[in-house]
Amino acid sequence: MSKNPTSEQRKIKDLINTGQLSNIKLAIQLVEGNNIDFDFSEYHELYSWLRKRKKYTKTNSIAAKILLLVNLKRLNLNHKQIRTIPVNLGLLKNLEELTIKKAHLKSFPKGIDEMDLLERLNLSDNYLTKIPEFTGKLKNLRSLILYNNQLSDIPETIGELQNLQLLNLTYNRIEILPESIGRLSKLKSLVLSKNKLKQLPENLGKCKKLSRIEVHNNNLSIIPESICQSESLEVLLLDNNQLISLPEQIGMLKTLSEIDLSFNQLRKIPESIGKAKNIKILYVAKNDLEILPESIAELKMLKKLRLSNNKLDSLPQTIDNCILLEELWLEGNKFNTLTESTGNLKNLKVLRLTNNQLSKLPDTIFNLSNLEELHLGKNKIKIFPDKIEQLRKLKSLWLYGNQYSEEEIDMLKNLLPDCVIRE
């Protein structure tokens, strides 16, 4: 069939694309009865190719083959060793979901730009080096997953995918994102971890429905202030970058529930963090923090706080305002004493204090009736008070690297018979 189809050829194609057997039979009759130049061989070829991989029932009827193809809605070719796709997948007019993983693909398969109804496209674990410009024509696309390829950039046309909700480009080589990302008004999840990003688009905050941003393991030194204008952001994963500061307006993220800033170069957390009152998980391990903002104590929904491997020597006196806190990680800091109010964290289950300079614990610690794990290794503790027996739910006690005696260990074993003591 010619590149510029005649009106008769277009009519045949329209009849086929209805997906109705009666119309497909009519199309075949019109072609055969009127000697219309129409190439059915592509359907034979595509059916034969797919049959080898999907175990379709063999049929000799061209009408039945076409019916199966044009009505196919989901096609999954995972784990098939397909080095090339020699057929036109564009014949699958009603396809809504296409997955081709671990197939050694070096380019997008032929015909994807003709799949007007495609909603989900997953070409992960291949060798793709570029996203073609025509991808922007897939107006119904809601999910684009190109995890673990060899992509180095993204075309501006990505911004034309007005129905896109999930964009996952993890494990690629991307250094920069186009500004057109800011036009993805329905985008909910942006996953770009393990790339080479040095910055994010300034207009990213225009994606008002964005609820999840994953950009860990990149080369980011700052994040755009516009992110703080997000009205829906719930999860922000920025760990393993080169961040030296955070936007002062970070407290404007009223819907934020989880933020990971671990393994960066932060020296402080903005005081405004206390205004992001829905935060339940806050990780800032392995940075250069010397002091915490007092406002952290205003995070009353906080359940997990990880501050390991910084330069901290104290917590805010009002830390006990975080009444729901279940995990507190403080190992690898400079604590020589612990804030008395820490003992008021009645829901605390895990307290990690390994590798500090503690010589004793405040008596209030033994009020932590729900504590299950207590990590005290590599400190300067010699003696434990009998009150430790009040920690009746304690399952694990780490003590290695302290200065206790054998008698002290025997005493602890008697006081805590159900606890595993790790010397």
Q: 207 to each of 204, 226, 355, how far by Cα in Å? A: 6, 10, 43
Boundary (domain end) residue, out of 197, 212, 242: 242
Query: Are residues 48 and 78 part of one domain?
Result: no
Task: Quote the radius of gyration of the chain (alpha carbons, Å).
Answer: 30
Longest dimension (CA), the chain: 102
Note if the pTM is more than 0.85.
yes
Q: Both 193 and 238 in a single domain? A: yes
Q: Give 187: exposed, middle or buried? Use CB within 10 Å, 0-12, 13-18, 19+.
A: buried
- Domain stop point among 18, 40, 71: 71
How far is the C-alpha of 64 from the C-alpha of 154, rounded, in Å?
Answer: 40
- Has residue 63 been placed in a domain? yes
The gap from C-alpha 90 to its chain's centroid, in whole angstroms, comes to 31
Structure tokens at 158: 């990505």
Same domain, 97 and 66: no
- Strand ranges, E, within 83-227: 97-99, 120-122, 143-145, 166-168, 189-191, 212-214
User: What pLDDT sits at residue 301?
Assistant: 98
User: Do 26 and 78 belong to one domain?
Assistant: no
Examine residue 48 and state whether it is found in any structural domain, yes or no.
Answer: yes
What burial letters (b/e) apply to 189-219, b meaning 16+ CB within 10 Å? bbbbbbbebeebbeebbbbeebbbbbbbbbe
How far is residue 390's CA from residue 339's CA, in Å, rounded to a whole number?
19
Do 33 and 126 lie in one domain? The reply is: no
Q: For residues 222-247, b (16+ Cβ closer than 10 Å) or e, as one string?
A: ebeebbbbbeebbbbbbbbbebeebb
Amino acid letter at 71?
Answer: N
Assign residue 107 the CATH number of its domain.
Answer: 3.80.10.10
> Structural domain of residue 59, as residue ranges?
1-71
Is 256 among the domain residues? no
Tens place of pLDDT per residue across the chain (423 aa): 556 788 888 898 888 888 888 888 888 888 888 888 888 888 888 888 888 877 777 777 888 888 888 999 999 987 666 767 878 899 999 999 999 999 889 999 999 999 999 999 999 999 999 999 999 999 999 999 999 999 999 999 999 999 999 999 999 999 999 999 999 999 999 999 999 999 999 999 999 999 999 999 999 999 999 999 999 999 999 999 999 999 999 999 999 999 999 999 999 999 999 999 999 999 999 999 999 999 999 999 999 999 999 999 999 999 999 999 999 999 999 999 999 999 999 999 999 999 999 998 999 999 999 999 999 999 998 888 889 999 999 999 999 988 888 888 889 889 989 999 988
Q: Give the bridge partners for 352, in sequence order.
A: 329, 375
SS3 of 358, please? Answer: coil
- CA-nearest of 1, 92, 89 to 39 is 1
The structural domain count of the chain equals: 3
